[in-house]
Amino acid sequence: MKGILFTEFLDLVEDKYGLEMVDKIITSSKLESEGVYTAVGTYEFSEMLQLLQHLSTNTGISIDDLLLVYAEHFFDVLKQNYPELLAAYKDPVEMLASIENHIHVEVKKIYPDAELPTFDVLKKTKKSLVMIYKSSRAMHHFGLGLMNKTFEHFNATADIVVEKLRDDGTEVKFVINKN
Ligand code: HEM
């Protein structure tokens, strides 16, 4: 997992819960990195999972809800760092339908070692989209947060239904209807 996800995550934890919480979740995890991350580095996903688990235990907030809030913050980071990728789109449905064959393709060019999910489009109309998310990392709620923010970015809203196709969350169906 790319370092930018760790640095931004820990910044957000510090903003919301203070430096003590950052310290607490780092020291209670077994981290090869020892909790020292750079934005351009690459680290084990298991480190993120441990940090999330400990934050969840300490706050009583589920990992899915933490990922949702984190993704909403991360969208602003993406907007600042990759404005040209977002500028290619005028419509949220078009943008989300293009994650797989444009946005994440570009991400892979920038970071060849990025570990990205797949989003297969099953059905698309002007105002709706059905996609299957697949990833061993089961970060579907991170995806949901980015989707919510994508609609907000275009001054739109949508109903998004998340249906697990596998219990472990590694395969999830998103049914998106723009309002
Ligand atoms: C992961 C970039 C838009 C869904 C990532 C990662 C990067 C990235 C750098 C981390 C890869 C790693 O750690 O190895 C971008 C950029 C975007 C964008 C630059 C737009 C400018 C989106 C959108 C979605 C999305 C709109 C909406 C669903 C995800 C998910 C992951 C991810 C779910 C987590 C990894 C996983 O589930 O396996 N993206 N992304 N991304 N991205 Fe995107």
pLDDT at 171: 98
- Dump pLDDT digits (tens) for 98-121: 999 999 999 999 999 999 999 999
Percent of the chain, pLDDT > 70?
100
Is the ipTM higher than 0.90? The answer is yes
Q: CATH number of the domain at 83-178, please?
A: 3.90.1520.10
pLDDT at 103: 97
Ligand 1 pocket, residues with Cβ under 6 angstroms: 1-2, 5, 78, 82, 85-86, 96, 99, 103-104, 107, 111, 114-117, 135, 137, 139, 142-143, 146-147, 150
| CA 59/CA 133 separation, integer angstroms | 28
pLDDT at 66: 98
Percent of the chain, pLDDT > 90?
99
Ligand 1: which atom is nearest the Cα of residue 137?
Answer: 38
Which residue spans within 26-117 are E strands per DSSP? none
CA 12, 117, 136, 171 dihedral sign is positive
